[in-house]
Structure formats: C-alpha cells, structure tokens
C-alpha cells in the first residue's frame, strides 16, 4: 500500500520540497495551502494521484473538511506534516505590529494544533502514524526583531513535546523538526548572513529520514544543532550583548 502523507504549507518552500520527495517515493499526498494556483502548478509536476485543498490553516473548519475528505478517499494518513508557517519582523513598541503578532501565532501555533486534531484519534485507534511539526532554531532563544516568530516556534517546540508525551505508547510518533536556514521564499528576504543554509530539496531528504526514524526532536542541519546547544548555554548578559547587533527580518511583509 502506498504511504499516505498530508502536508500543510505545501505550495512552496519546504512543503513543496517534501511533496516532491514523497511523490517520488510513490506516496499519495494531501496538499494544503492558501494559494490554489501554486498548488495546481505543483500538482502538475508530481507523479501519482493526489488531492489538493485550498485552505488557510487558520480556518479550523476548512482543515477538518480537508482531513475528512482525504481520509475518506485514501484512508487515514501515515504521516501528517504541519509545515505551514509565516514570518515577519516585529517590534513590540509598534502598535501596528500587534496584528502581525496575532497572525504569526494563529498560523504557526494554532494552525499546527488544528492540523493535527482531526488525525490524532484515528491514528491512536489504528496504533500507528507520524505527526510532524516544523519548528525552528529561532525558537531556542528569542531573537531581536523577531519576537512573534521566535515566540511562535518556542511555543511549537513545547506543544509538540506535550503531544509526544500524551501519545507515548500509542504507536503514534510525534516528530519535532527544528530547521536552521533553508533556501525558501521565507529566507530569501533576509538581509543578513545565514550560515549552513540548505537547499530545500536536500532539507526535505533529511527531514524524511528523521520522520522515517520517528525521531522525537532533531535540528537540521546538524551544525545548527550544535549552534542551538551553545545558544542554550550562553549566559543572558553575553547572549544579549552578542545578539543585540544581529540582523533583523524586515517588518511589514505580507502575511
């Protein structure tokens, strides 16, 4: 039987790269994104039979309908990848950025919960499955000018840990992937050095290897895992002094 994989944020970047990789392995895909034209363009390049859903992950009802349709047509997924995410520079002092904070948190955190929710009980009943959440090294410590994004990814890491423990012994694996810099439209706008950057297709290959292994938590690439461990160890005064000068993502990007 073909592997069944449900991916959000599938129209570009990591999501599209994962779709290409899984399709090449013969998987049946459920592809979710806001941009229908981009989804259809991706679909036209993929071998096999797949389903596309034009849904914003902030739309809980739309996600439930997509999950129900995919499960009815192909069966409960073997892998669900909550990949949809948005990023924008934010400053707490700017009143107008409150809306950006809200959008980032709703998409990156609540959108992940809403993506997983329809599948948890069926997977538990079956006794198998992978729930994969795409976090970020940016969630390890708060980065300047990225309060919304760092906070959302820190929340995602903690949420996925809670879910992993809740499902312990059920046969359902929760996989937390914390990428470093990946070549995607999200990083293309950054105006600062991005060490150890990976092409999206290579990142997808490494992600799937971690998913297949049922890894509880993994940083990709591994070099950023070393950086993440060092960041955790830095005393606040040193961290503050070093990162006060760090580059910042532009504010006002479309979300």
Out of 21, 22, 53, 149, pick the active-site residue: 149
Q: Using CA of residue 62, residue 112, residue 39, residue 72, what is the dihedral sign?
A: negative
To the query of whether residue 149 is one of the catalytic residues in this protein, the response is yes
Beta strands in the chain (DSSP E): 4-8, 28-33, 51-54, 79-82, 129-134, 172-179, 182-183, 198-199, 217-220
Backbone region of residue 240 per phi and psi (left: phi > 0; alpha: psi in -120 to 50; beta: other values): alpha
| Other C-beta atoms lying within 10 Å of the C-beta of residue 120 | 18
What are the C-alpha distances in Å from 176 to residues 92, 100, 187?
A: 28, 25, 20
For residue 168, what are the contacts with CB-CB under 8 A and spacing of at least 6? none
Angle, alpha carbons 167-125-61 (nearest 5°): 85
Instruction: Tell whether omega for the bond before 109 is within 30 degrees of 0, i.e. cis.
Output: no
C-beta of residue 172 within 8 angstroms of C-beta of residue 124: yes
Q: How many CB atoms lie within 10 A of CB 172?
A: 24
Give me Rg for the CA atoms of the chain. 18
Q: Which residues are catalytic?
A: 149
């Amino acid at each position: 039987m073909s592997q069944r994989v449900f991916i959000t944020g599938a129209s570009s970047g990591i999501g599209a790269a994962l779709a290409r990789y899984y399709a090449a392995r013969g998987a049946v895909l459920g592809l979710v994104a806001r941009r229908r034209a981009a989804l259809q363009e991706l679909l036209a390049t993929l071998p096999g039979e797949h389903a596309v859903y034009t849904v914003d992950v902030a739309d809980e009802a739309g996600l439930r309908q997509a999950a129900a349709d995919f499960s009815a047509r192909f069966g409960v997924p073997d892998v669900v990848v909550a990949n949809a995410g948005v990023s924008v520079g934010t400053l707490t002092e700017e009143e107008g950025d409150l809306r950006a904070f809200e959008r980032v948190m709703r998409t990156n955190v609540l959108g992940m919960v809403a993506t997983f929710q329809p599948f948890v009980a069926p997977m538990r009943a079956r006794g198998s499955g992978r729930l994969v959440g795409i976090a970020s090294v940016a969630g390890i410590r708060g980065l300047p000018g990225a309060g919304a994004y760092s906070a959302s990814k820190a929340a995602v890491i903690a949420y996925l840990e809670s879910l992993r423990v809740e499902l312990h012994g059920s046969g359902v694996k929760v996989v937390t992937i914390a990428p470093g810099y990946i070549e995607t439209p999200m990083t293309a706008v950054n105006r600062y050095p991005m060490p150890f950057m990976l092409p999206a297709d290579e990142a997808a290959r490494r992600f799937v290897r971690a998913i297949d292994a049922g890894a509880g938590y993994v940083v990709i690439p591994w070099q950023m895992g070393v950086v993440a461990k060092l960041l955790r160890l830095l005393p606040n005064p040193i961290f503050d002094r070093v990162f006060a000068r760090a580059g910042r993502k532009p504010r006002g990007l479309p979300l």
